[in-house]
Each structure stands twice: as C-alpha cells, then as structure tokens.
Amino acid sequence: MSDLPVWLAISILILRIGGIGVIFALIASRIYHRSGRVALALCWALASLAWGYLGYRQFCSQPLACDAVMVDDHLLDGYWRDLMPGFTLIAGVTLAAALAAAIWLERRGGNLAARGTSNPARRILITGVVAFGTWCAATLAVVSVQGWPRV
C-alpha cells in the first residue's frame, strides 16, 4: 500500500475538519431554533465529547502512539486520562467557532441551509474554513500547553 501524496492528505484533512464543523453548525442551528439554548449546549457538549473520543481513538490506533501502556485496551489507562481532555477541548473549541461563524453569517444574510438566500455555498465555505482554522489553532495551543503525555 502506497502512502498518499502530501497535498491529497492535507486536502482530505481540510475537508474532514471543515465538513464536521459545517454539519455540526447546520444541526445545531436547527436544534437552537426548535429547542433553545439548553438543547444547543447539550448538543455541543455531546458532539465535543464524541469527536474528542474519536480523535483520541484515532490517535492511539497509530503504530507506537499509545503502545507503551496498552493493558488489555482498558481505554489505554493513562493515555485516556492524559489525552482525552485535550482532544475534547480541541473539538469543543472548533465546534463552538463553527457555530459562532454560522450564527454570525446567518444574522448577516439568512439561514445557513436556507435556499434562496444570498449565496449559501459561500456561507458554508466560510464556516468550514473557520472550523479548520480554529482546529489548527486549538491543536497548536493544546500541544504547546499540554505537551506530550508522560508514561
């Protein structure tokens, strides 16, 4: 199996992170309009935890990433405690920024998913770019503060 070219791997990463942000913003916007702020906060918290957990599991699935303390895969013991908060924080900040961008754009020109409003593709693109940029900044901030976990 050959490795992906760097440009393709980066493109896939941008589409994945931006897409998650846009999808969350679309769903959260509908939840907010139908159920209010409490439901929105619950949706954000659950989505952040889920994305953080999936990011943690993806990271630890890589060779040698978490192998040092693998004990019967009980959530990889120390790595769960050390890594999960960082991944969840990155996810939470990214989703909050995507939602904030979608709300700001909605107030400027109509609902993010509505047809017939001024250029919904542009608003979706901007929300995705905000999500990816925030994910990059949050990842750098968490890594610089948290560092690599100690075994």
Mean pLDDT of 19-24: 92
Structural domain includes residue 109? yes
Structural domain includes residue 125? yes
- Average pLDDT over the chain, rounded to whole? 81
Give this prediction's pTM: 0.79
pLDDT of residue 63 exceeding 80, the answer is: no
Encode the chain in three state secondary structure.
Answer: CCCCCHHHHHHHHHHHHHHHHHHHHHHHHHHHHHHCHHHHHHHHHHHHHHHHHHHHHHHHCCCCCCHHHCCCCCCCCHHHHHHHHHHHHHHHHHHHHHHHHHHHHHHHHCCCCCCCCCCHHHHHHHHHHHHHHHHHHHHHHHHHHHCCCCC
Structural domain includes residue 136? yes
Structural domain includes residue 1? no
Domain count, the chain: 1
Structural domain includes residue 61? yes
Structural domain includes residue 151? no
Structural domain includes residue 131? yes
Domain range for 139 = 6-146
pLDDT tens per residue across span 32-53: 889 989 999 999 999 999 999 8
Structural domain includes residue 14? yes
